[in-house]
């Protein structure tokens, strides 16, 4: 089966969706499918080997300029040609372009992209579709998320192939769009959902929530759990040196919706009790200038409580550093106020045998139920988070039991192999019936 996989790059940011897309494409390739992964906008920054194409379609700078300058003027052609340079696009991962994912700044661009063949980027769409038509004859075209649903109609019209579309986190961007753009975007997605043969939701929670919110046909939504590459975790052993203090870990973007501020409040409460001498917090994750004020507030609170030696903000971690983080921690938590649909780092911690404490909303109850690898706390409640963390920190036996259960659960249910197999099974069914 030949599959065209359309993903999006996130420039210099490690992104859970990018990791998921690359892992799924790699898994389907390993299962024997002929998969071509196209990252749009920018290259993808990954901590695993990329299986994506080197050429970038829908260059992010060019798409932005076509929105800003939709009408011809002297020199526009040269400007767009330079903006679409592959060499320039490959340089983007070196720069912080956090504003590129700002739903307020990019509301009009989002509407235009959702309008596909009638949007300001229609030339980019035609270039992409025509290239795929001439170079490939795909059996299935997979679009990573509903924010790219505007492409589906033209791809189906010209290639007559079934279209699948992922659902794994679009709501946080859509909810950030100002009105009336948000309502317009939801209406377009609802209308263009007819161009998609199957939506692949990353969790049962998200499939239900998104279909109810947007008004999608629930019968067209399948759930395909995420998976991670497990080879590096098979022989990963914890640092059991006697000199290492009890340590809580965090790995996510340093943004309010991931909840580092809540974890810090819980840590401060635990430190005050004196029950856990030398308790540490190690926090890794992408840092953007767009959220510098948030991060400054975190650092200020750390200093005010005299915790500079016990709380370490590690910033972006390469893969080896990430694996070493998991070796150095006893409990893991990303207490996101946002109702997270996936939470890849949670699965990574569990794969490393580290028990987790997560809020009881979003996909987290599913992951805990499927793996039996942790505890749930009341969302937005740092005091309850502290209590659940304390229960694990004071009981080494409980940590070992939940950590082993979590590890077994991830290896059984959240591998790339299982994710790829469930995705390919859905795609094969679509290729066995005629396309309307």
Which one has a higher pLDDT value, 75 or 424?
Answer: 424
Domain boundaries, the chain: 2-228+417-431, 231-414
CA distances from 316 to 116, 183, 289, 330, 358 (A): 34, 35, 13, 20, 22
Question: Residue 435: is its pLDDT beyond 60?
Answer: no
**Tens-place pLDDT, residues 89-104:** 555 555 544 444 567 7
Measuring CA to CA, how many Å separate 43 from each of 102, 110, 149, 391, 413? 18, 19, 20, 43, 29
Assign residue 77 a region (left: φ > 0; alpha: ψ between -120 and 50; beta: otherwise): alpha
Long-range Cβ contact pairs of 69-77 (< 8 A, separation 24 or more): 70/120
pLDDT tens, 386-412? 999 999 999 999 999 999 999 999 999
pLDDT at position 97 is 45
Is residue 428 a contact partner of residue 142, using CB atoms and an 8 Å limit? no
> Tens digit of pLDDT for each residue in 215-249?
999 999 999 999 999 999 999 999 988 889 999 99
| φ, ψ of residue 50 in degrees (nearest 5) | -75, 140
The pLDDT value given to residue 434: 57
Inter-residue contact 19 to 416 (CB < 8 Å): no
Q: pTM of the full predicted structure? A: 0.91
Main-chain phi, psi angles of 382, to 5 degrees: -70, -30
- Whole-number average pLDDT of the chain: 91
For 231-414, the fitting CATH number among 3.40.1390.20, 1.25.40.80, 3.40.50.2000, 2.40.30.170 is: 3.40.50.2000
In the numeric block, the tokens 């997560």 are attached to 358
Query: Residue 280: beta bridge partners?
Result: 247
Class of residue 369 by CB neighbours under 10 A (exposed 0-12, middle 13-18, buried 19+): exposed
Instruction: Decide whether 2-228+417-431 matches 231-414 in CATH topology.
Output: yes
| Statement: residue 371 has pLDDT above 60 | yes
| Distances, alpha carbon 259 to alpha carbons 183, 250, 266, 348, 365, in Å | 27, 10, 11, 18, 17
**What CATH topology corresponds to 2-228+417-431?**
Rossmann fold (3.40.50)
For residue 69, the model assigns a pLDDT of 81
164 has pLDDT over 50: yes
pLDDT in tens, 136-156: 889 999 999 999 999 999 999
Question: The sheet that has 356-359: what strands, in order across it?
Answer: 311-315, 280-284, 247-251, 331-332, 356-359, 374-377
Nearest to 185 by CA among 109, 98, 121: 109
Residue with tokens 């002297």: 74
**What CA dihedral angle connects 304, 388, 168 and 249, to 10 degrees?**
50
Instruction: Give the residue-averaged pLDDT of 276-294.
Output: 91
pLDDT of residue 255: 93
pLDDT of residue 12: 60
For 11-60, the pLDDT digits (tens) are: 566 677 888 999 999 999 999 999 999 998 877 777 788 898 888 888 87
Residue 436 pLDDT more than 80? no
Write down the residue that tokens 């939506």 correspond to: 199
The share of the chain scoring above pLDDT 70, in percent, equals 93
Q: Supply the pLDDT for residue 15.
A: 74
Q: How confident is the model at residue 86 (pLDDT cuts 50, 70, 90)?
A: low
Least confident residue range of 135-144, 236-245, 294-303, 413-422: 236-245
- The pLDDT score that the predictor gives to residue 405 is 98
């Amino acid at each position: 089966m030949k599959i065209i996989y359309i993903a999006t790059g996130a420039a210099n940011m490690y992104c859970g969706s990018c990791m998921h897309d690359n892992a799924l494409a790699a898994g389907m390739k390993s299962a024997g499918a002929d998969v071509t992964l196209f990252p749009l906008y920018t290259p993808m920054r990954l901590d695993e080997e990329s299986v994506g194409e080197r050429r970038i379609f829908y260059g992010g700078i060019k798409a932005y300029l076509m929105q800003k300058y939709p009408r011809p003027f002297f020199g526009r052609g040269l400007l767009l040609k330079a903006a679409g340079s592959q060499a320039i696009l490959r340089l983007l991962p070196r720069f912080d372009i956090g504003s590129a994912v700002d739903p307020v700044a990019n509301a009009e661009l989002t509407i235009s992209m959702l309008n596909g063949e009638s949007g300001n980027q229609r030339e980019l769409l035609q270039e992409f579709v025509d290239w795929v038509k001439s170079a490939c004859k795909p059996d299935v075209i997979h679009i990573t998320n509903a924010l790219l649903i505007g492409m589906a109609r033209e791809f189906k019209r010209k290639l007559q192939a079934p279209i699948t579309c992922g659902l794994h986190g679009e709501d946080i961007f859509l909810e950030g769009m100002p009105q009336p753009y948000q309502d317009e975007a939801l209406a377009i997605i609802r209308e263009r959902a007819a161009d998609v043969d199957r939506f692949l939701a990353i969790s049962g929670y998200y499939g239900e929530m998104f279909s109810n919110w947007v008004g999608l046909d629930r019968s067209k939504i399948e759930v395909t759990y995420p998976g991670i590459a497990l080879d590096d975790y098979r022989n990963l052993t914890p640092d059991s040196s006697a000199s290492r203090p009890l340590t809580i870990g965090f790995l996510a973007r340093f943004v309010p919706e991931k909840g580092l501020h809540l974890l810090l409040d819980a840590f401060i409460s635990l430190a005050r009790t004196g029950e856990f001498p030398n308790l540490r917090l190690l926090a890794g994750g992408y840092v953007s200038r767009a959220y510098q004020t948030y991060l400054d507030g975190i650092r200020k609170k750390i200093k005010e409580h005299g915790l500079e030696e016990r709380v370490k903000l590690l910033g972006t971690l390469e893969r080896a550093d990430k694996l070493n983080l998991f070796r150095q921690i006893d409990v893991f938590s990303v207490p996101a106020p946002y109702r997270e649909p996936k939470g890849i780092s949670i699965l990574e911690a569990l794969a490393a045998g580290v028990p987790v404490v997560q809020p009881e909303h979003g996909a987290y109850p599913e992951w805990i139920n499927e793996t039996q690898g942790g505890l749930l706390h009341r969302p937005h409640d740092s005091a309850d988070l502290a209590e659940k963390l304390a229960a694990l920190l004071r009981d080494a036996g409980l940590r070992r039991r939940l950590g082993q259960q979590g590890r077994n659960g991830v290896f059984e249910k959240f591998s790339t192999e299982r994710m790829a197999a469930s995705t390919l099974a859905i795609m094969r069914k679509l290729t066995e019936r005629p396309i309307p």
